[in-house]
Amino acid sequence: MNERIKALAQQAGESIPEFHFGDWNIPNEFIQKFAELIVRECADVGSKFSMAHPEAIRYQIKRHFGFRS
């Protein structure tokens, strides 16, 4: 698994009380593919706004995934 993806998965796990990253029963291949799909969607959204200000691109990506801020 990509080291950055592993670090983000671990960070996500740390946000859940009494969760231990090593105890997951989710295959690394699933985590890797899930992260890849998210990154591809971010890239697609970003490419639509490539000429926009970086904050506008950030806003559109967050909006695409349902985040308000």
What does pTM read for this prediction? 0.70
What is the crossing angle of helices 3-14 and 28-48, to 10°?
100
pLDDT of residue 44: 93
Instruction: Establish if 20 belongs to a structural domain.
Output: no
Instruction: Establish if 33 belongs to a structural domain.
Output: yes
Q: How many domains does the chain have?
A: 1
Which of 20, 63, 22, 26 minimizes the C-alpha distance to 41? 63
pLDDT of residue 3: 87
Three-class secondary structure assignment of 19-52: CCHHHCCCCHHHHHHHHHHHHHHHHHHHHHCCCC
Kindly indicate the confidence band of residue 10, based on its pLDDT and cuts at 50, 70 and 90.
confident
Instruction: Establish if 40 belongs to a structural domain.
Output: yes
pLDDT of residue 69: 64
pLDDT tens-digit map of 14-50: 887 777 666 667 888 888 899 999 999 999 999 988 8
Tell whether the model's pLDDT for residue 5 goes beyond 80.
Answer: yes
